[in-house]
Amino acid sequence: MTIIAGPCAVENREQAFAVAETIQRTGGEFFRGGAFKPRTSPYSFAGLGEEGLKILAEVRERFGLRVVTEALDESTVDLVEKYADMIQIGSRNMQNFTLLKRAGRSHLPVLLKRGMAATLEEWLLAAEYVMAEGNGNIVLCERGVRTFSQHARNTLDLAAIPAMRRLSHLPLIVDAAHGTGHNYMVGPLARAGVAAGADGVMIEVHPNPAKALSDGEQTLNLDEYQQLVRQLNAIQELVA
C-alpha cells in the first residue's frame, strides 16, 4: 500500500518540513504538495509557484521522499519535471488533452485524478492520451464525483475501485480528502478505500489545518495522520 501524503499546498519550508518529517518517520515514501493550485476562486491562494517546487526539492533531498505535485498546463510540466518525481494532473484537467499529451512525453510518472463528472471510460481514455505518447507509468486516483448529496464536498466512488480493477491494470489510489471535503470523514473513507482494494491513498496533512491556506477543512493534523497510518497498515494486512 502506497501512501501519498502532504499539505494541499506548499506554504513555506517549516510547514513542508514538519509534515515531511512525520511522513518519513511513519514509513511513508511519497510527499504531495501543490505549488500550482487550480482554485475555484481567482482570489484564493494559488500556490507559491516555482518557489514551492524548490521547497519540494528540498523535501526530497532532506527526507528522502519522492515528491508529487500538480502541473496545470504544458509550461508547468516543464517546471515540475525540473524539481519533482511525479506529475499530478488534477480533476479539473482530466480532459485537458494538450496537457495529457505533454505528460505523455515526460519521463516522469503521472498521477491522473478522476474528473469530477467523468465516467470510468472517459477517465481511462484520458489515461490513453498519456500512454499514446509513450508514457505508460500512470497511477489513477479516485477523488470523488459530483452528486446530489450535500453532506460531503464530493461523493467518493468506492465502487470504482473493483470496477476499475476489471477494466484496467493501472494502479489505483483513493483520495478521501477531496472525496469528502471533511476531515472527520477522511479516516473512515480512506480505511474503506484500502479495504475495497485500493493500491494506496492520498491524504492531506498540515501541522495546523485551521491555518492552512487551502483545503484546511479536509486536512488531518500530524497526530491524526499518524493514527490513520497505523489503521491503514492493519487493514492492508487483513486484505492482502
Please identify the residue of the shown chain whose CB is closest to the bound ligand PEP.
90
| Residue 240 CB, nearest approach to ligand PEP (Å) | 27
Q: From residue 209, how far is each of 7, 59, 139, 222 by CA, in Å?
A: 9, 20, 27, 9
**To the nearest whole angstrom, how small is the minimum distance from the Cβ of residue 218 to ligand PEP?**
10
Considering the complex, state which of residue 143 and residue 234 has its C-beta at the smaller distance from ligand PEP. Answer: 143
What's the rounded Cα separation, in Å, for the pair 73 and 101? 11
Binder of ligand PEP out of 5, 8, 23, 56 (CB under 6 A): 8
Query: Least distance (Å) from ligand PEP to the CB of residue 181?
Result: 10
* CA pair distance 126, 141, nearest whole angstrom: 12
The total number of residues written for the chain in this structure: 240
Which of 3, 8, 213, 229 contacts Mn ion by CB under 5 A? 8
CA 5 to chain centroid: 8
Residue with Cβ nearer ligand PEP (91 or 180): 91
Q: Does residue 34 interact with ligand PEP by CB under 6 A?
A: yes
Give the alpha-carbon dihedral of 72, 76, 78, 81, to 10 degrees.
Answer: -70
Considering only 57-65, 79-87, 88-96, 185-193, which stretch makes contact with ligand PEP by CB under 6 A? 88-96
User: What is d(CA 150, CA 190) in angstroms, rounded to the nearest whole number?
Assistant: 19
Residues of span 195-234 touching Mn ion by CB under 5 A? 215
Per-residue contact track with ligand PEP, 113 to 132, x per CB under 6 A?
x-------------------
Q: Which partner in ligand PEP, Mn ion, none is near 153 (CB below 5 to 8 A by kind)? A: none
Q: How many CA atoms lie within 13 A of 41 on its CB side?
A: 5
The stretch near ligand PEP (CB under 6 A) out of 47-55, 76-84, 90-98, 157-165 is: 90-98
Q: How far is CA 120 from the centre of its chain?
A: 18
The residue with cell 470523488 is 144
Q: Of 162-221, which residues contact ligand PEP (CB under 6 A)?
A: 178
Residue 90 interacts with, from Mn ion, ligand PEP, none (CB under 5-8 Å by kind): ligand PEP
For residues 171 and 139, is the Cβ–Cβ distance under 8 A?
yes
- Residue indicated by cell numbers 450535500: 150
Binding footprint of Mn ion on the chain (CB under 5 A): 8, 215
